[in-house]
Amino acid sequence: MTATATTVGDLFAVIERRPALAIDADLTVEKDGTAFAVRGYDDLVAVDLPSLGAALELWRDRPVDGPDAAAALDAAGLTAELRVRGAPVARLGADAVPSGLAERLGLGPLELLVDGLLLALTQQRG
C-alpha cells in the first residue's frame, strides 16, 4: 500500500523514506520569452539565466515559497543553484548555507554567492 501525502509534513515524511535522488537533466526552458538552461548533475540542479533581472523575476514567480522549496530540496538531498551566464549567484536546498543578507532582503533561505553576484553585475555592464 502506497501512502498519499496530504500535507507538507506528510510529503517530507514520504521523501525521507525514499533513497536519495540523482538528477540527470539537460534542458532549455522558456518562460515569458526568456530562455534559460536547466542542467542536473546528481544532487545539483543548475538553472543558468541570461541576466540578474531574469533571475530575480524567476525567483519572484516561483510556484512554491522559498522556505517550502528549501525544505523540500533539503529533504530530498538536492540543491538548486541559480547562475547568471555561468556565474553561480545563489543556492537553495541541501548544500546551501542561507545568508542573513538574503533574509534581510526578503529573499528567504537563499545562500547568496557574493563573488558570483559581482561577476554577474560586471558582465552586465560590459
Quick: pLDDT tens for 53-112: 888 888 788 777 777 888 888 888 899 999 999 999 999 999 999 888 888 887 778 899
Instruction: For residue 20, give the DSSP letter.
Output: P
pLDDT value at residue 50: 93
Measured at the CA of 112, the angle between CA 110 and CA 116, to 5 degrees, comes to: 140
Q: What is the mean pLDDT of the chain?
A: 83
